[in-house]
């Protein structure tokens, strides 16, 4: 299961957001370094299609796609040098697939800011610089190791060339992800380095709808305090309270799912209506392997109906009668929303 790490300065709103997402009780008090060990939670990906399928086939249960969220303690300037609780938490970031950068945008004198000011663009700069500077130290060590192993590794010259290029890029405070690697073997080696600035980032601005906010160019804005206040309200009550009918958390979870490069196919039967997660670009046998590893090895073909056809034509029987069920082989690239039955050999 792919994971999302919540990263930010102390008191940016990470732990409150994590609590809302996972409904787990983790500390979120108003002082730095409350979170010491990373807290993990598995979160369902909201998807109305699962309920629609379930209602149509009268399934006994519904199973949603899921991703893991990890609450990582706050970074501060010079964390790469070990300040605050830096190095410990930089290592925790290595373990996630996507960084959700939580940046505070609102003014509030009662909530401590570790830099004693509210300037989200500067906060982002601090956070990204710490990731890059940590990578720079790691790449310096990697180069030393490559030089020692040069005679044993036929690919050492290419690896050293790439490492030097990345190191030069990092030294200018540019992220490693901007350097593209073409050779599959070298790309595999690079992935094993697990550079922090190679990871995808989704920037979240924590705003206050009723207060003063500092302008910030984010990928996603969310009033975490408002979401906390309306978390248990009905849609009607949310609207009366002035909150959007659709939960901001639901939209954020889906945004993370999409940023991870994930998509969903469905199976639907009397026992369950289920969303299965696959990486965009996967072919049918790989997707079958999500259900069971043997399915990928023994895959024969897929019987596929587009979600919209499945619903509008009353399910599998109606879709077949209208010629909307098609058979696909091993080279078929699965599409988000496909309703599937896999044909597996013995």
Reported confidence tier of residue 31, pLDDT bands at 50, 70, 90: very low
Most confident of the ranges 61-70, 243-252, 262-271: 262-271
29 pLDDT higher than 80: no
Q: What is the pLDDT of residue 148?
A: 86
Give the pLDDT band of residue 78 (cuts 50, 70, 90): low
* pLDDT one-digit tens code per residue, 273-309: 999 999 999 999 999 999 999 999 999 999 999 999 9
Helices vs strands, H then E, count in the chain = 13, 12
**The pLDDT of residue 30 is above 50:** no
User: Could you give the domains of the chain?
Assistant: 3-201 (1.10.150.300), 281-344 (3.10.20.30)
User: Would you state the pLDDT for residue 28?
Assistant: 44
Check pLDDT > 70 for residue 115. yes
- Percentage of the chain exceeding pLDDT 90: 65
Q: How far is CA 124 from CA 68, 137, 197, 289, 300, in A?
A: 23, 20, 13, 39, 49
Q: What is the CA radius of gyration of the chain?
A: 23
CA 262: distance to chain centroid? 9
Sequence-distant (6+) residues with CB within 8 A of 331 are: 283, 284
* Range scoring the smallest mean pLDDT among 23-27, 178-182, 201-205: 23-27
What is the pTM assigned to this prediction?
0.87
- What's residue 36's pLDDT? 45
pLDDT band with cut points at 50, 70 and 90 for residue 1: confident
For the chain, list the strands marked E by DSSP.
3-7, 39-44, 61-63, 66-71, 98-104, 200-206, 220-222, 262-268, 272-279, 299-306, 326-328, 338-344
Quote the mean pLDDT of the chain.
88
> DSSP letters of 251-304?
HHHHHHHHHTTEEEEEEE-SSEEEEEEEETT-BHHHHHHHH-HHHHHTEEEEEE
What is the pLDDT at residue 26?
A: 45
| Residue keyed to tokens 């399915």 | 295
């Amino acid at each position: 299961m792919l994971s999302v790490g919540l990263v930010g300065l102390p008191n940016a709103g990470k732990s409150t957001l994590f609590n809302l997402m996972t409904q787990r009780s983790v500390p979120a008090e108003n002082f730095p370094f409350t979170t010491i060990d990373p807290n993990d939670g598995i979160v369902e990906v909201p998807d109305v299609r699962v309920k629609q399928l379930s209602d149509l086939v009268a399934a006994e249960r519904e199973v949603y796609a899921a991703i893991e969220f990890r609450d990582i303690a706050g970074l501060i300037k010079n964390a790469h040098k070990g300040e605050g609780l830096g190095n410990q938490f930089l290592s925790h970031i290595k373990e996630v697939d996507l960084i959700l950068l939580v940046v505070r945008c609102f003014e509030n004198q009662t909530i401590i800011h570790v830099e004693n000011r509210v300037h989200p663009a500067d906060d982002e700069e601090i956070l990204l610089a710490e990731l890059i500077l940590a990578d720079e130290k790691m790449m310096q060590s990697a180069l030393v190791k490559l030089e020692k192993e040069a005679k044993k590794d036929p690919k050492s010259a290419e690896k050293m060339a790439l490492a030097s290029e990345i190191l030069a890029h990092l030294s200018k405070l540019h992220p490693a992800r901007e350097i593209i690697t073409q050779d599959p073997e070298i790309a595999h080696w690079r992935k094993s380095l697990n550079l922090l600035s190679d990871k995808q980032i989704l920037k979240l601005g924590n705003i206050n709808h009723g207060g003063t906010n500092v302008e910030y160019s984010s990928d996603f804005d969310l009033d975490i305090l408002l979401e906390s206040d309306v978390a248990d309200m009905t849609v009607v009550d949310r609207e009366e309270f002035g909150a959007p009918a659709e939960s901001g958390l639901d939209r954020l979870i889906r945004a993370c799912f999409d940023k991870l490069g994930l998509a969903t196919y469905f199976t639907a039967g009397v026992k369950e209506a289920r969303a299965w997660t696959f990486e965009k670009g996967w072919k049918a046998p790989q997707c079958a392997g999500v259900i069971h590893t043997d399915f990928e090895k023994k895959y024969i073909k897929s019987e596929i109906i587009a979600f919209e056809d499945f619903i509008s034509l009353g399910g599998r029987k109606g879709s077949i009668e209208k010629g909307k069920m098609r058979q696909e082989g091993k080279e078929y690239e699965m599409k988000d929303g496909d309703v599937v039955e896999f044909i597996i050999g013995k």
